[in-house]
Amino acid sequence: MEKIWIITIAITIFLIINFLYYKSLNGYVKKQFGEKMWKTWTSKLYFWQSSLYTSAAITVLIIFLLKWVNILNF
């Protein structure tokens, strides 16, 4: 049961970080690439790929920080 809570916390942190990344950089990327270029799949692919990598890295850091502070035990 304890592992389910850790996985739930990790997924929740990942989704929150991904949402914040999207909200903060979506307008900037659209403006930088232009609306026409944003509609192609390559620009969206690079944006979402960077979003997933960034969210995963920050999630791992937060989870291990919570483990280091002894809030999570796994």
Summarised one tens digit per residue, pLDDT across range 13-70 is 999 999 999 999 988 988 888 888 888 888 889 999 999 999 999 999 999 999 999 9
- Amino acid, single-letter form, for residue 11: I
User: What residues contact residue 74 under an 8 Å CB cut-off, 6+ apart?
Assistant: 2, 3, 6, 67
Q: Is the pLDDT of residue 71 over 70?
A: yes
The structure's pTM equals 0.85
Q: Is the pLDDT of residue 1 over 70?
A: no
Cα–Cα distance between 18 and 39 in angstroms, integer?
Answer: 20
